[in-house]
Every structure is written in C-alpha cells, then in structure tokens.
C-alpha cells in the first residue's frame, strides 16, 4: 500500500515513470526520500499533491465500488 500511495504523488522526475512494473522504480532510498518530502509533521503526511491521473482513477474505482454495493443491496432486499 505504501508504494501505491507514493506512486500516486506528484514528485516530479525523481521517479522513473517509464518502467512497466511500477514497483520496480521504488528503491528503499527513494521511498525514504519521498516520505520525508511528503511529511506535514512527525505523525502526518500529505504535503505533496496527488497526480491528476491518480485522482481520476481513484474516482472511477470508488464509483465502481458504490455501483457494485448498490447492485448487491438491491439483490438482497
């Protein structure tokens, strides 16, 4: 989950976005660097912006989950 979160952040060109397997771009050193960049405080993260495409994909996934939930609820009413 940490890699999915970090991969959704806008970190400029410090991550190789051309790799087919996205997790391959994230070395331990890079994870530590981006975590520090994203820190708001000792216990909070969220300083970096989320890339637009990830916001859009998250919305689509959330919409699909709500649709499935509504469909299942209708079946069992």
Looking at residue 60, its pLDDT comes to 59
Q: In whole angstroms, what separates CA 55 from the centre of its chain?
A: 8
This prediction has a pTM of 0.59
What is the model's pLDDT at position 33? Answer: 94
Element (H, E) at 54: helix 52-75
Q: What is the pLDDT along the chain (77 residues), one digit of tens a residue?
A: 677 778 778 888 888 878 877 788 889 999 999 999 999 999 999 899 887 665 556 555 656 655 555 544 544 44
Are 2 and 30 contacting, i.e. CB atoms less than 8 angstroms apart? no
Q: For position 58, what pLDDT does the model report?
A: 58
Domain boundaries, the chain: 2-75
Question: Residue 65 class from Cβ within 10 Å (0-12 exposed, 13-18 middle, 19+ buried)?
Answer: exposed
């Amino acid at each position: 989950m940490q890699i999915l979160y970090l991969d959704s952040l806008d970190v400029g060109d410090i991550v190789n976005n051309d790799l087919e397997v996205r997790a391959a771009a994230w070395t331990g050193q890079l994870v530590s660097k981006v975590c520090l960049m994203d820190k708001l405080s000792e216990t909070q993260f969220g300083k970096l912006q989320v890339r637009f495409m990830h916001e859009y994909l998250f919305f689509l996934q959330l919409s699909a989950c709500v649709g499935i939930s509504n469909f299942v609820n209708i079946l069992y009413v």
